[in-house]
Amino acid sequence: MKLYSTNNKDLRVPFQEAVFNSLPADKGLYMPEVIPQLDPLFIRDIQQYSLQEIAFQIANVLIGDDIPADDLKAIVEDAINFDAPVKFLSEETAVLELFHGPSYAFKDFGARFMSRVMGYFSEKGEKLLDVLVATSGDTGGAVALGFLGVEGTRVTILYPKGKVSKVQEEQLTTNGQNIRALEVNGTFDDCQALVKQAFNDTTLNAELRLTSANSINIARLIPQTFYYFWAYAQLKAQGVKDVVFTVPSGNFGNIGAGLLAYKMGLPVKHFVAGTNVNDTVPRFLQSGAYEPKPSVQTLANAMDVGNPSNWVRIQDLFRNNLEELRGIISSYTYDDEETKAAMDELYAKYKYIACPHTAIAYLASNAYKAENPGEYASVFLSTAHPCKFPDAISEAVFFEIQLPDGAKSLYGKEKLVEELGVDYDSFKSFLLENK
């Protein structure tokens, strides 16, 4: 597998280099040189395969000889050891639940796969691998659990102070071992900027072996395609022919993976991106002008991103053709009051308890259906377990949530965290003084 930079189509690097370097020196993002096409017979019979079998086929087609098939199969089976079920709420509306992994968020797919790929490529005696990750909520917990105890690695998680939920913060700050947390007095965009600046700091990179665990890393993107194929397999087994996926979108890595799956041959009628008031992409699709703005804090905190990193990947997939993008992606944006109303509606109509991100996807799914009636399955993605958002869900409804055992075990654990400002020099000093 060879990859190029979105800023330099002539650049070619092997998969292993892209995994460890995360970002090209030119500040682009890595993309596959060739988008492989899946065997139509595999797609035709996909309902016959398990999630792990589908995941291996996708990974093998993308990664190729960079990881031998038997080793790749072992990585997939170890990393993707939980389900992602499709549940129908009505005859035409279903939810794809992506929160059945250890951190109760869809990012377990990417974090667990990536940590095992990095472990596979790492050699004993190499310099300690410093994994930097900025999180607006769920990425940090998934990465922390994905890398916890992995030999030869150390994870530094940056999260915005006061802008993650209590459960999310506990998942970030109570691990110890090779996981450390930095509470940044700023926004997620500030955290992301610090991480990006570190990767482009030649002095720092001479001292530390840095890599990223954010969705900017290609090893995070690949496994996120798995659950789109698995959802389609479940739907096909029930006789569904056409599907529209609605994705709660912040940094646009999740829907970017779905669009990569589409380019590989997954039959999808349309994609819908639901956002909170951080609406850079919806505004772009309407006007054609890409105008990032500072992120705004909302109930759906994992989507509080003002300048989505992965949007350049999506534009690259579609050769920056705005009309082609509009043909496959629609987008809708919602504020906190609308999000709360959607959470109440899901519970009142279906007895379904949803996190704020899931509620936004539900709203966007309904909006697209209203504008585009027809016979198709409308599947919205549930990206996090509702137990992670006690402040966003009414007390009476939250009381009915069945807490996973892992969430219960977080209560009472000591918080291990250091505070940090938004200036890069302080961050750099922390990394060098604690190397």
Catalytic residues: 107
In the block, which residue shows the tokens 């993107």?
Answer: 221
Residue 263 main-chain phi, psi, to 5 deg: -70, -25
What single DSSP character describes residue 105?
A: B
Q: What sign for the dihedral angle of Cα 349, 351, 356, 359?
A: negative
Q: How far is CA 116 from CA 77, 109, 112, 139, in A?
A: 11, 11, 6, 16
Q: How far apart are the first and last CA of the chain?
A: 32
CA–CA distance, 411 with 169 (Å, rounded to integer) = 11
Distance CA 18, CA 29 (A): 9
User: CA neighbours within 13 Å on the CB side: how many for 34?
Assistant: 9
Selection from 245, 225, 275 nearest residue 378 by Cα: 245
Cα–Cα distance for residue pair 251/311, rounded to 1 Å = 8
Radius of gyration of the chain (CA): 20
Contact in structure between 114 and 220 (CB atoms under 8 Å): yes
User: 310: alpha, beta or left, given left = phi > 0 and alpha = psi -120 to 50?
Assistant: alpha
The C-alpha angle with vertex 138 and arms to 386 and 194, in degrees rounded to 5, equals 150
Contacts 24+ apart (CB under 8 A), 169-172: 169/415, 170/410, 170/411, 170/413, 170/415, 171/103, 171/140, 171/141, 171/144, 171/145, 171/410, 172/135, 172/140, 172/141, 172/144, 172/417
Pairwise CA distance, residues 160 & 182, whole Å: 9
Q: What tokens does 304 get? A: 């509080």
73 in helix, strand or coil? helix
Q: Do 246 and 379 touch, CB atoms closer than 8 A? A: yes
